[in-house]
């Protein structure tokens, strides 16, 4: 990512109060951008609230992305020429509880963002964030490429695959000169301050901190693990390169093959970093279906965007545990987050 591209630029971010969104606010602020956020009301347990990140953004609108009138007013008022669409219902298990809301949030919501973005003349670039779970899962031992087929065996994954198809259809059917859109697919992110329901790291950290054994549903499941800042770097790098030649394209931003680990491996390594006799156990209640083996091939982003991971998984886990340890010891969440963003940006910025 290039600091000179973002310095002084107005950026419109949907879902800026979520886990990724909060870290993105700090990263963009560090790069000198003016962030204009649009999201649903935020629980006090989320990093955005805990770290007082409202003070870092230029504007903060509470709203539903499906409310096109409100969204259009906010996007127009922001003066932004870059839109980063992160807002979503992003929890697999929650999608089983309410598939209607999942499809509505992720598909109808994205349609709303795309319709508004292409109608606001100042907007030139739009990055739609999806997930590594958009691929039809064959339990392959190699990473999925952008040319591989889309699928989804659960409502969340299917909704995001639909989002990919929707974005493509809108890009092809309603082109506008000077406006380019692309999708970004990333793996399982970790980092300090995550309050995402059913996510692995919050379960590990809360259990280890309370002296309990963490309970894992699928310790043998294989996932591509990366620090939350890695895909954010990818989204920004993609936005920098997004022009007519890259309109209607999809991009993977995943870790190296060595960082594709089982859930149990991540739990073991996190326990070793945490200390204090931390450990975990399995539960016979696995819950609804989840993919067993999933990884991404990011060769396209490496070759065409010059993007590559900055941290290996050991550094990512260490940064996560350090964040949680320091904040639990009394350090300010914003200060710790900013310090980790600074360290990452020193290595990632060109």
Q: Hey, where are the domains in the chain?
A: 3-348
Token representation of residue 84: 């980063």
Residue pLDDT, tens place only, 262-273: 999 999 999 999
Span 301-319, average pLDDT? 97
Whether the pLDDT of residue 287 is over 90: the answer is: no
Beta bridge partners of 135: 150
Whether the pLDDT of residue 139 is over 90: the answer is: no
**Close Cβ partners of 345 (under 8 Å, ≥ 6 residues apart):** 1, 3, 27, 30, 31
pLDDT band at 286 (very low <50, low <70, confident <90, very high): low
CA 76, CA 123: separation in Å to the nearest integer? 9
Token representation of residue 217: 């549903």
Token representation of residue 64: 């539903």
Which pTM was predicted?
Answer: 0.96
Kindly report the CATH class assigned to 3-348: alpha beta
Q: Give the mean pLDDT of the chain.
A: 96
Span 135-143, average pLDDT? 91
Contact 144, 295 (CB under 8 A): yes
DSSP state of 58: S
* Number of residues in the chain: 350
Q: What is the pLDDT of residue 289?
A: 65
Residue pLDDT, tens place only, 86-112: 999 999 889 999 999 999 999 999 999
Residue pLDDT, tens place only, 215-230: 998 899 999 999 999 9
Angle CA 240–244–248, to nearest 5: 90
CA 289, CA 10: separation in Å to the nearest integer? 41
Residue pLDDT, tens place only, 17-56: 999 999 999 999 999 999 999 999 999 999 999 999 999 9
**Does an H or E element contain 250, and which?**
strand 249-253
């Amino acid at each position: 990512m290039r600091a000179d591209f973002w310095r002084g630029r107005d950026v419109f971010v949907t879902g800026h109060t979520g886990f990724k969104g909060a870290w993105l606010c700090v990263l963009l602020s560090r790069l000198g951008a003016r962030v204009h956020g649009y999201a649903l009301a935020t629980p006090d347990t989320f990093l955005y609230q805990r770290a007082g990140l409202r003070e870092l953004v230029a504007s903060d609108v509470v709203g539903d992305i499906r409310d096109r009138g409100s969204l259009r007013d906010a996007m127009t008022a922001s003066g932004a020429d870059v839109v980063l669409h992160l807002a979503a219902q992003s929890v697999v298990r929650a999608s089983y509880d309410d598939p209607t809301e999942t499809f509505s949030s992720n598909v109808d919501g994205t349609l709303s963002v795309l319709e508004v973005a292409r109608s606001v003349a100042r907007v030139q670039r739009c990055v739609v964030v999806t997930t590594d779970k958009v691929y039809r899962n064959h339990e392959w031992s190699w990473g999925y490429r952008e040319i591989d087929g889309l699928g989804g065996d659960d409502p969340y994954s299917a909704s995001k695959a639909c989002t990919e198809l929707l974005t493509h259809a809108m890009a092809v059917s309603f082109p506008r000169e000077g406006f380019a859109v692309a999708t970004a697919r990333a793996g399982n992110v970790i980092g300090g301050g995550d309050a995402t329901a059913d996510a692995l790291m919050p379960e590990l950290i809360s259990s280890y901190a309370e002296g309990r054994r963490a309970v894992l549903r699928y310790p043998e499941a294989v996932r591509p693990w990366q620090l939350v800042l890695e895909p954010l770097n990818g989204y920004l790098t993609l936005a920098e390169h997004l022009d007519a030649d890259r309109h209607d394209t999809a991009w993977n931003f995943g870790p190296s093959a060595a960082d594709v680990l089982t859930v149990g491996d991540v739990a073991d390594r996190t326990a070793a970093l945490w200390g204090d006799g931390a450990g975990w156990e399995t539960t016979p209640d696995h819950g609804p279906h989840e993919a067993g083996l999933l990884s991404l091939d990011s060769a396209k982003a490496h070759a065409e965007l010059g993007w590559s991971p900055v941290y290996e998984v050991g550094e990512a886990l260490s940064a996560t545990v350090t964040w949680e340890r320091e904040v639990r010891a009394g350090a300010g969440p914003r200060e710790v987050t900013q310090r980790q963003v600074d360290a990452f940006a020193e290595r990632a910025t060109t």
